[in-house]
Amino acid sequence: MPFTNENTFDILAEAISEGVIIVDEKQTIVASNSGAETMFGYDRGELKGKPLNILIPQQYHRGHGGHFKSFLKSSEKRQMGRGRDISGVAKCGKTFPVEAGLSPFEIYGKTFVMALVMDITIRKKAEQELIHWAKIFDESLNEIFIFDAQSLKFIDVNRGALQNIGYNLEELKQLTPVDIKPEYTEERFRVLINDLVQKKTEKLKFEAIHQRKDGTTYPVEVHLQLSNLENKDVFVAIILDITDRKNYTEKLEKKVEERTEELHHTIQELKEEVKLRMEAEAKTKESLKKEKDLNELKTKFLSLVSHEFKTPLSGILTSATLAGKYTKEEQQEKRDKHLDTIKNKVKYLDNILNDFLSIERLETGKVNYKFSIFPLSKVVNEVVYDANMLLKGGQRINYPDDIDGYTLEFDEKILELVLSNLINNAIKYSGENTTIDIQIHVEDNMLVFKILDQGIGIPEKEQEFIFKRYFRAENALLDQGTGIGLNIVKTHLENLGGSITFTSTENKGSTFVIKIPMINKHK
């Protein structure tokens, strides 16, 4: 036995934490420590006498033999596993990477080799990982820049970055991120990364413009992180070239803009259509309403005619009958009285008919105003003359006699209609022995007529309805009337640029004021 004192070996070998295996020239294991046995999964002492090959994967057996022999020949201390991977195989068949240092020695004239074996599974894995990451770093299509946290100088960049930015690594090492960001000064950039430097945030994401060596630029999204490399604070910047995204966004924005525009047009068109339809509908409604109003008017007319015409007509009949009875020549005065009454009532009926015709014309839009130049006194005299025939006992009309100088350009018939309506009302709604005052003056280029009476007045609560068609105040119902006159007067006056207002106190009297333009523009 080469080792006479096995204990010496055991004590020495156990003191070493790595695996120790000693083989003889025939590659038979002559000794192993527990580190080696545990590593290869054998029980204590189980390896002794076994060929070394049981610890070496099948595929390396032959090569290993030759290797071993040449190694023995060179008889030098050397470490195996450098430069190439060597593997061990455990008792269970599992292979694992090992590093082995071999030391040949001679004892009792025999050559032995002591192998110091280390399981490098963990180290290999770490190495693999490192290679893996380095590869990812280098092959990443994104650009990765690493630069010093203090000086900001670039330390390393990946291939993607070199390709896009156009500088080589040596050139880049002289530059900082500020040199490739035309929008930034060093101060502005340091402000930007301040939170990372202060470790207030872990990651920073921002968009910027990068400038290539050839001066061209491209938009980028920067993801910046503080890291540590060999005890030095460094920044790792992952750069995404967002040219395509930007183009896409721009295209998208343009498209959205176009669509919005289109939509806007469509909405506009729709609005137009809705407007047209509404107008058409309104027109239909309006004409329907007009038709309804006209029908209403006709019905009203019939009922009013039957009522309003009855009394004057029977009056006419009576007067005509009575007049017929006065056959003697000296009874002319009596005949005249009856004839006056007949004239009166006919005039009244004529007025009502005119009012109705006016409404009809106004409703159907058939009013044609006729302008002419005429002296104001002519119309006033005619109206007062007619009105005089309606006066009650003791009633009198005061009207100005200094209006000869006024010449008007207006619709004569309308002025007549307006004045006679107001004067007739003043007569009708006043008692006997009262005065009706007509005043005329010019004010702000308007001719102002005031018709004042001392009659029943209009109750205050009904005053707001007085111009409504068919409206008649409570205190007026004993007198004949249709409620049409004032409505027509107001409409005509407003059509011709004039106006009508009134003040009234019940049982005291009313004052109606009308204004018409001196120079009529409604030609």
How would DSSP label each residue in 438-454? EEEEEETTEEEEEEE--
- Nearest distance, CB of residue 308 and ligand ADP, angstroms: 9
Q: Where are the beta strands (DSSP E) in 371-469?
A: 372-375, 396-398, 407-410, 435-443, 446-452
- What is the strand order of the sheet 396-398 is part of? 396-398, 435-443, 446-452, 509-517, 499-505
Nearer to ligand ADP, 23 or 484 (CB): 484
Nearer to ligand ADP, 158 or 487 (CB): 487
d(CA 147, CA 136): 18
Nearer to ligand ADP, 181 or 428 (CB): 428
**Which pairs with CB-CB distance under 8 Å and at least 24 residues apart come from 160-163?**
161/239
- Nearest distance, CB of residue 510 and ligand ADP, angstroms: 4
Nearest residue (beta carbon) to ligand ADP: 481
How would DSSP label each residue in 240-273? EE-HHHHHHHHHHHHHHHHHHHHHHHHHHHHHHH
Nearer to ligand ADP, 208 or 476 (CB): 476
- Nearest distance, CB of residue 474 and ligand ADP, angstroms: 8
- Nearest distance, CB of residue 481 and ligand ADP, angstroms: 3
Residue listed under structure tokens 């280029």 = 445
- Nearest distance, CB of residue 348 and ligand ADP, angstroms: 10
Residues that bind ligand ADP (CB under 6 A): 421, 425-426, 429, 453, 455-458, 466, 472-473, 476, 481-487, 510
Nearer to ligand ADP, 33 or 425 (CB): 425
Nearer to ligand ADP, 37 or 355 (CB): 355
- Nearest distance, CB of residue 305 and ligand ADP, angstroms: 14
User: How many angstroms separate the Cα of 172 from the Cα of each of 136, 146, 176, 209?
Assistant: 21, 11, 8, 17
Instruction: Give me 458's structure tokens.
Output: 């209009």
- Nearest distance, CB of residue 496 and ligand ADP, angstroms: 18
Nearer to ligand ADP, 178 or 384 (CB): 384
Rg (CA), the chain: 62
DSSP, collapsed to helix, strand or coil, labels residue 100 as strand
Instruction: Give me 514's structure tokens.
Output: 């009308």
